[in-house]
Structure formats: structure tokens, C-alpha cells
Amino acid sequence: MSSPILKLVAQRIVLGILLLLAVSVLIFVGTQILPGDVAQSILGQSATPEALKNLRAAMGLNDPAYIRYIRWLGSVLAGDLGTALSSGQDIGSSIWPRLKNTLFLGGCAATVAVPLAILLGLLAVRYRNGGVDKAISGLALASTSFPEFFISYVLVFLFAVPHLDWFVLQEPLFPAISTVDDSTSFLERLQAVVLPATALTLVVLAHMMRMTRAAILNVMQSAYIETAELKGLKPFNIIRKHAFPNAIAPVVNVVMLNLAYLIVGVVVVEVIFVYPGMGQYLVDHVAKRDVPVVQAVGLIFAAVYITLNIIADIVAIVANPRLRHPK
């Protein structure tokens, strides 16, 4: 790998670390300006002023904001995400199984959405301006127009509620509540996430497909594509062998952005299906005003999003032939 590539990759990594640091400041400030009193929410309305004063002092709430931020950031860098105020449990040990559940859900959705979006994008380019292209674009537009909570409820109605007029089976095809735990087998876990993964797939599929189509069409206007056409190559072979490899950078960028959404944008879907992931965990503790949990989950979401964007930038850099062969 040549030095220009190494330099650009190092720059992206450093910028990602600085961006994560800036996001940590925003997360801390955002949680500190929330209305209400943390000590009051822990002790309840019947707490005495003396008890509130002692709890604030024990939690360091009387210290200046920058001191509390430095203390929190230092703990995070040391691998300590803190303790949940509402339950007294260690946040790191509570988050890890939920993070695995969210990654499993996002991975299932990505396994279907990414290859399907690329395939539909290739088909749309192959039959551009024809019936296939218009049908795919119409379905993509319809999918994009519906928010994830609407799609989720429609899926629940269709497949998690028994309809004797539609199905021979009297039992629902899939569970409406996607409850999993450590004892759940892999097949049971797959069955539990079918509906939420389908909802996420439908949400991100259209965007990835449209961006893939646009990126390949942009490359199709190049001179070497015209040369391949004059040689008599089949249209799909031209797209597959010549256009798609040169459009890989923007395609990877949009895929990574949507993968980031699958991880950090699952809050609504997880709440609807009562799925024990990071989104459900965040919503539960926002209602309890559990600031350390909100800070930890927000920072993890930001780290995942920034990391996937860095990977997309690195892939785009490595895929650039002018950087791989500077001479």
C-alpha cells in the first residue's frame, strides 16, 4: 500500500477520534441540561432537603460541569461506563448482551438488504427507463414514504395476528413480541427477529438501491463503457465487470451509512417489538432519567456510526486507482 493511501487513512482515523471526542462533549452537555433533578428522581418526591444535598454531594453533582465531564471521560477511557442510577447495576455488563442483540438484529437485516439492494440497483440500470426500472423505482419510493413504525405495525397485523380468511394456519406465523435471552437458540432467535429485521430491511433497502443505481449510471457515461459497448459485450456483463467495480466507492459509502442506521436507528423498531436491544434499553432509562445510561448508550451509538463512516472512507480511498498507482 503506497504512502498517500496510508496518509489519508491516518487522517481519517484521527478525524474520527476527534469527532468522537466532540460528540462526547455534546452528549454530556445534552444530558446535563435536561430538565429535572437527578437526585430528586432517585429519592422520590418525599426526600428531605438534607438527603437530596447528601446524594448530590456523593454523586459529584455539585462539582463544575467540566470537572464532571473529565471524570466521566476518564472513566470511559478506562473501560468503566458507570453505574445505572435506577438499578445500581454496572452499565457495561448490562449493555453488552443488549448490544449483541442489536448487532444480531442489524446483521440479519443487512444480510438481506445489502445484496438485494445491489442486485435491484443492477437490474434497474440494466433495464433503465423500462418497465423493470420503473417498477423497482416505484416500489422503492413507496417503501421510503412509510416510516418504520408504520411498516412495523403493518407487519405485525399481517403476520403476527391470525387471519383465518388469509391463512390455513390458525396460529400467527411470527411472534409479535421479539423476546430473546441467553437461553434462546439460534433458530428461535432468527424466528423472533424476522418481523423487526424485515421492517428495517424495507426502510433501508430503497435508499441503498437508488444510490447504487445512480452511482452505476454515472459511471455508464464514461468513455471506456462506450468502448466496451462497441466491442459487442452484453449489457449486463458491461455493468457487472466494468461499471460496478468503478462505482464501488459511492456504493460502499451508502451501504455503510445504512448499516450505521441499522445499528443506531433501531430504537423505534425495538420498542414496537419489545426487542431487548440497545434502543429499548435507552428508551427505558430515558423515562427514568438515568443520565449515566443515556450517556453510555449515546456514546456507543456515536462510536459505531463514526467507525462505520471511517471504514467507508478507507474503502473509498483504497478503491481509488489514482491513489493506488500515483505514478
CATH at residue 243 = 1.10.3720.10
CB-based contact 216:125 (threshold 8 Å): yes
User: What pLDDT digit, counting tens, does each position of 139-148 carry?
Assistant: 888 877 888 8
φ, ψ dihedrals at 90, nearest 5°:
-65, 130
d(C-alpha 116, C-alpha 125), whole Å: 14
Task: Indicate whether 1 pLDDT > 50.
Answer: no
Q: Does residue 42 belong to any structural domain of this protein?
A: no
240 falls within a domain:
yes
Each residue of 143-165: pLDDT tens digit?
A: 778 888 888 888 888 888 776 55
Q: How far is CA 284 from CA 6, 34, 84, 287, in A?
A: 43, 16, 12, 6
Residue 71 lies in a domain: no
State the average pLDDT over residues 17-25: 92
C-beta of residue 212 within 8 angstroms of C-beta of residue 245 = no
Query: Over the stretch 32-84, which tens digit does the pLDDT of each residue have?
Result: 776 666 666 666 667 777 777 777 777 667 778 788 888 888 888 888 888 88
212 within 8 A of 118, measured Cβ to Cβ? yes
How much is the pLDDT for 160? Answer: 80
Q: What is the pLDDT of residue 235?
A: 76
Q: Given this model, what pLDDT does residue 167 score?
A: 53
Residue 61 lies in a domain: no
Note whether residue 23 is domain-resident: yes
H helix and E strand count, the chain: 17, 0
| pLDDT tens-place string over residues 274-310 | 898 888 888 888 777 778 888 888 899 889 888 888 8
Mean pLDDT over each residue of the chain, to the nearest integer: 81
- 71-80 as b/e: b if 16+ CB within 10 A: ebeeebeeee
DSSP 270: H
Residue type, 292: P
Q: What is the pLDDT of residue 18?
A: 93
Q: Judge whether 64 lies within some domain.
A: no
286: containing domain: 3-35+81-324
Segment 191-234, tens digit of pLDDT: 888 999 999 888 888 888 888 888 888 877 777 777 877 777 78
Domain membership flag for residue 75: no
The pLDDT of residue 231 is 79
- Whether 54 maps to a domain, the answer reads no
Q: From CA 69, how far away is CA 41, in angstroms rounded?
A: 21
- The count of structural domains within the chain is 1
Nearest Cα residue to 27 out of 266, 276, 301, 288? 301
> 83-92, 138-147, 166-175, 303-312: which range is least confident on average?
166-175
Mean pLDDT across the stretch 5-25?
Answer: 88
Return the amino acid letter for 85: L
Residue 169: pLDDT over 60: no
Enter the pTM of the model: 0.80
Q: b vs e for 144-156, b when ≥16 Cβ sit within 10 Å of the residue's Cβ? A: beeebeebbeebb
